[in-house]
Amino acid sequence: MCALRFFYGVTLGHAEIPESIAYARSPRTLPVVLSADEVVRFLEAVPSLKARTALTAAYAARLRASETVGLKVGDIDSGRGVIRVEHGKGGKDRTVMPSAQLLRILRVYWRLAKPQDWLFPGRGADRPIDVQVLYSACRSARAAAGIDKRVTVHTLRHSFATHLLENGTDIRIIQVLLGHNNLSSTARYTRVSNGLIRRTTSPLDRLNVEVVPPV
């Protein structure tokens, strides 16, 4: 496509032709999703307290990797039961409502680790943990847990959305929880939800069909 656009637009000088030559769309692949049991095995296989808590927060608060490492202690408002996410995707701020269990885990982590500014500080307290540390922890935990899937921080976000869908949560609520502007971004989780697939009745089940033809 690039060669054709260059040939007509530059070589032949027909600037109007390249505009009608569309680029091929990149194929959209289905996200990798962990089962609830795999999420537990995965998180329990992370030996570091800081990395385990960060990845647990990424799953329970449906955070992206950059949003997870960017959390500050002041972003956790346990009184109101919310977490403030600053400069998320598209530079937008948003508020997420964590579960009571996540808040309990974060309190235990705070008592043990005593973070000052950044919730998950790096080697120096003046900067957050590097996102590559979380990626490395994901690779190690996946191998230790014996999970035969590619697991990243974003995999936990995909898994959270799929688990909500399988539990019967309205897809429009999931859209708000994930911070999606377009419902189509959320709708792709319907294609990876095994629970929804199992609960879908085949039209064949409504028919009275004999397998062996009558003699």
Residues annotated as part of the active site: 64, 89, 154, 157, 180, 189
Residues 6+ apart with CB under 8 A from 98: 57, 60, 61, 81, 82, 83, 106
* Residue 112 Cα distances to 43, 109, 115, 140, 157, angstroms: 18, 5, 9, 23, 26
Is the separation of the CB atoms in 190 and 165 below 8 Å? Answer: yes
Q: What is the rounded distance in angstroms from the CA atom of residue 141 to the CA atom of residue 132?
A: 14
> Torsion angle of alpha carbons 197, 203, 205, 210, nearest 10°?
-140
